[in-house]
C-alpha cells in the first residue's frame, strides 16, 4: 500500500506510541487515585465488583443480589474480575490490580486504534488515533472505573482489525484471533453481533467468491454457538429466556418512548406508577426481572402506538433525532482530574467535525480510499442506529468513541498535506514578489 508523503517511519511511530502510552497510563493512575479503594458511588461499578467476587466464591453470575443468579448482565465482567480477584484477592491489592488491568485494557484499545489507523490509512493516522484513545478524558474516566465498555470497545477494535486484516491478507491464526475477540465481546454486550455483518458487506463489495469465505463464516457460527450455547441454556433455566444476551433493557426501552417527535401521551412516572401497582397486585413486587420485563413490554406497546398515531414522527425520531442525539454525547461517567464536562463535550464535538472531514476528505481531494476504509463507518452507523429504540444515553455512545477518533485522526492526516501545500504556495508567491 502506498503511504502518504507525510507518513511516519516505523521507528518514529514506535517512539510516539511509547510517549503516548506513558502519558495515558499516568492519566489513568491519577484518575484512579482520586477515588478510594473499595465500593464507590457508581451503581454499575458496585454491581460489577460484587459480581466478580461472587463469581470467584460461588461460580454464580449475579448482580444486585449475591446469592441470586441474574440475567441482567453477560458473563464477561464477572469472569474478568473474578480472574483478577483469584490472583490478587478481593482486598485493596485486588482492587488496585483490577484498576491497573482496566487501565491496561484502555491502553490496548489505543494500540488497536493505531493498528486500524495504520491499516486503513497511515502510521501517522494510527499514532494520532492512539493519542486520542489514550488521552481523551472521556475514555480515561471510563477506564478508571469498572464498566463493560472498557473491555468491550477494546475487543471490538481488535476484532475489527483482525477480521479486516484477514480479508486483505488471509491467515488462519489472524482470523481465529478475530473470532476470539468477537466471542469475548459478545460476553460483554450483544452489540458485538453487528461486527460480522459489516465484514460480510465488505466481502460482498469486494466480490469475494462464496467458496472462499463461506467456510470461514460457518466456522465463526460454529465456534460462537459452542461458546454461548451453555450460557443460553443457563438463561433458559434461570430467567426463562433462551438468549445469550442480558435481559435488562426493558426500562431503557420504556424511557425511549418518551424521547423524540410525536410520541404517545403520558409520562414515564405515570407508567412506572401503573406497572408498580400491577406488580403489587399480582404479588411479584420483589421480582426485578419480571418488573423489568413488564416495562419492556409496555414500551413495546407504546412503540406500536407511536407508529400507528404518528409514523413520520416515529421515523424521524429513530432515523435521525435519536441517533444524532446519541452521537453528540461523549461518555464521561465522573469528573476526572477536575476537567469539566463542558470541556469534554467541546473536545468531543471537535472530534466529530474532524471525523466528518476524515470520511469526506478523500473524496473531496480526489484521493482513492484505502481498502476497508468504510467498514468502521458502517459499524459506527449501525451501533448508533440499533440502540435508537431505547433512550439515547451517553453510555450507549461509549463504544462508538474509538471509531470516531479513528476517522478524526484520518482527517488530521489528510489535512496536514493541504496545510503544507498552502504554506509552500504562499512562500513561493512571496519569493516571486520579492524578485
C-alpha cell at 185: 465481546
Is 277 contained in some domain?
no
Binning pLDDT at 50, 70 and 90, where does residue 60 land? confident
Q: In this model, does residue 279 exceed pLDDT 90?
A: no
Is 279 contained in some domain?
no
390-395 mean pLDDT = 87
Is 390 contained in some domain?
yes
Counted domains in the chain? 1
Binning pLDDT at 50, 70 and 90, where does residue 52 land? confident
**Residues 67/69/72/75 CA torsion (nearest 10 deg):** 110
CA 425 from chain centre, in angstroms, equals: 42
Is 304 contained in some domain?
no
In degrees, to the nearest 5, what angle opens at C-alpha 189 toward C-alphas 183 and 194?
Answer: 70
Q: In this model, does residue 27 exceed pLDDT 60?
A: yes
Taking phi first (over 0 means left), then psi (-120 to 50 degrees means alpha), and beta for anything else, what does residue 335 get? Answer: beta
61-85 mean pLDDT = 79
The length of the chain in residues reads 435
341 versus 234: which is more confidently predicted?
A: 341
C-alpha cell at 90: 478481593
pLDDT score of 265: 93
pLDDT score of 56: 82
Cβ(101)–Cβ(52) under 8 Å? no
Is 273 contained in some domain?
no
Mean pLDDT of the chain: 87
Give whichever of 66-70, 102-106, 167-171, 413-417 has the largest mean pLDDT: 102-106
What percent of the chain is modeled with pLDDT above 90? 55
* Cβ-Cβ contacts under 8 Å for 406 (sequence gap 6 or more): 113, 116, 117, 120, 125, 129, 355, 358, 376
402 versus 422: which is more confidently predicted?
A: 402
Question: Which of 52, 101, 95, 96 is closest to 73 using CA atoms?
Answer: 52
pLDDT score of 234: 78
Cβ(107)–Cβ(21) under 8 Å? yes
Binning pLDDT at 50, 70 and 90, where does residue 433 land? low
Query: What does the alpha-carbon distance between residue 158 and residue 104 come to, in Å, rounded to a whole number?
Result: 14
pLDDT score of 427: 44
Binning pLDDT at 50, 70 and 90, where does residue 294 land? confident
Query: What does the alpha-carbon distance between residue 310 and residue 260 come to, in Å, rounded to a whole number?
Result: 11
Question: Which of 411, 419, 423, 420 is closest to 362 using CA atoms?
Answer: 411
Sign, CA dihedral 201-204-206-209, equals positive
Cβ(291)–Cβ(284) under 8 Å? yes
Residues spanned by the domain of 426: 10-263+310-434
Is 131 contained in some domain?
yes
Express each pLDDT in 32-47 by its tens digit.
876 655 545 455 777 7
Is 424 contained in some domain?
yes
Least confident of 156-165, 276-285, 408-417: 276-285
Is 113 contained in some domain?
yes
Q: In this model, does residue 426 exceed pLDDT 90?
A: no
Express each pLDDT in 253-270 by its tens digit.
888 999 999 999 999 999
pLDDT score of 71: 67
Cβ(174)–Cβ(165) under 8 Å? yes
Cβ(318)–Cβ(379) under 8 Å? no
Query: What does the alpha-carbon distance between residue 414 and residue 418 come to, in Å, rounded to a whole number?
Result: 7
What percent of the chain is modeled with pLDDT above 70? 88
- At 265 the three-state DSSP class reads coil
433 versus 339: which is more confidently predicted?
A: 339
Express each pLDDT in 148-191 by its tens digit.
999 999 999 999 999 999 999 889 999 999 999 999 999 999 89
* Cβ-Cβ contacts under 8 Å for 177 (sequence gap 6 or more): 158, 162
Least confident of 77-86, 92-101, 219-228, 334-343: 92-101
Q: In this model, does residue 323 exceed pLDDT 90?
A: yes
pLDDT score of 41: 46
Q: Count Cβ atoms within 10 A of the Cβ of residue 393 and give its class: 0-12 exposed, 13-18 middle, 19 or more buried.
A: middle
363 versus 379: which is more confidently predicted?
A: 379
102-119 mean pLDDT = 97
Binning pLDDT at 50, 70 and 90, where does residue 5 land? low
Binning pLDDT at 50, 70 and 90, where does residue 422 land? low
200-205 mean pLDDT = 92
C-alpha cell at 374: 468504510
Binning pLDDT at 50, 70 and 90, where does residue 434 land? low
Helix 149-168 with 195-205: angle, nearest 10 deg: 20
396-407 mean pLDDT = 96
Amino acid at each position: 500500500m502506498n503511504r502518504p508523503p507525510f507518513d511516519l517511519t516505523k521507528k518514529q511511530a514506535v517512539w510516539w506510541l511509547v510517549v503516548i502510552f506513558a502519558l495515558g497510563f499516568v492519566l489513568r493512575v491519577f484518575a484512579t487515585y482520586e477515588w478510594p479503594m473499595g465500593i464507590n458511588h457508581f451503581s454499575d461499578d458496585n454491581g460489577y465488583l460484587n459480581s466478580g467476587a461472587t463469581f470467584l466464591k460461588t461460580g454464580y453470575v449475579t448482580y444486585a443480589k449475591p446469592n441470586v443468579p441474574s440475567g441482567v448482565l453477560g458473563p464477561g465482567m464477572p469472569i474478568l474480575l473474578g480472574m483478577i480477584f483469584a490472583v490478587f484477592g478481593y482486598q485493596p491489592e485486588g482492587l488496585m490490580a483490577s484498576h491497573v488491568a482496566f487501565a491496561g485494557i484502555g491502553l490496548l484499545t489505543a494500540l488497536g486504534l493505531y493498528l486500524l489507523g495504520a491499516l486503513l490509512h497511515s502510521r501517522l493516522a494510527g499514532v494520532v488515533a492512539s493519542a486520542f484513545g489514550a488521552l481523551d478524558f472521556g475514555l480515561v474516566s471510563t477506564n478508571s472505573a469498572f464498566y463493560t465498555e472498557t473491555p468491550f470497545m477494546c475487543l471490538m477494535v481488535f476484532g475489527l482489525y483482525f477480521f479486516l486484516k484477514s480479508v486483505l491478507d488471509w491467515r488462519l491464526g489472524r482470523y481465529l484471533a478475530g473470532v476470539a475477540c468477537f466471542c469475548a465481546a459478545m460476553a460483554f454486550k450483544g452489540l458485538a453481533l453487528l461486527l460480522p455483518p459489516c465484514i460480510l458487506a465488505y466481502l460482498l463489495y469486494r466480490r469475494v467468491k462464496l467458496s472462499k469465505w463461506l467456510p470461514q463464516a460457518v466456522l465463526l457460527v460454529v465456534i460462537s454457538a459452542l461458546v454461548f450455547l451453555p450460557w443460553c441454556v443457563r438463561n433458559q433455566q434461570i430467567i426463562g429466556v433462551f438468549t445469550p444476551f442480558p435481559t435488562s433493557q426493558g426500562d431503557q426501552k420504556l424511557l425511549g418512548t418518551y424521547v423524540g417527535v410525536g410520541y404517545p401521551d403520558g409520562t414515564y412516572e405515570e407508567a412506572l406508577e401503573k406497572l408498580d401497582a400491577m406488580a403489587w397486585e399480582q404479588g411479584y413486587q420483589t421480582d426485578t426481572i419480571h418488573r423489568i420485563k413488564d416495562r419492556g413490554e409496555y414500551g413495546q406497546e407504546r412503540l406500536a402506538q407511536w407508529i400507528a398515531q404518528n409514523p413520520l414522527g416515529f421515523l424521524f425520531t429513530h432515523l435521525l433525532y435519536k441517533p444524532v442525539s446519541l452521537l453528540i454525547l461523549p461518555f464521561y461517567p465522573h469528573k476526572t482530574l477536575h476537567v469539566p464536562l463542558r470541556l469534554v463535550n467541546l473536545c468531543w464535538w471537535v472530534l466529530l467535525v474532524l471525523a466528518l472531514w476524515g470520511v469526506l476528505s478523500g473524496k473531496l481531494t480526489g484521493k482513492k480510499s484505502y481498502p476497508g476504509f468504510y467498514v468502521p463507518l458502517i459499524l459506527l452507523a449501525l451501533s448508533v442506529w440499533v440502540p435508537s429504540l431505547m433512550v439515547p444515553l451517553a453510555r450507549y455512545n461509549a463504544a462508538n468513541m474509538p471509531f470516531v477518533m479513528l476517522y478524526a485522526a484520518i482527517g488530521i492526516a489528510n489535512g496536514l498535506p493541504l496545510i503544507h501545500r498552502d504554506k509552500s504556495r504562499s512562500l513561493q508567491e512571496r519569493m516571486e514578489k520579492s524578485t
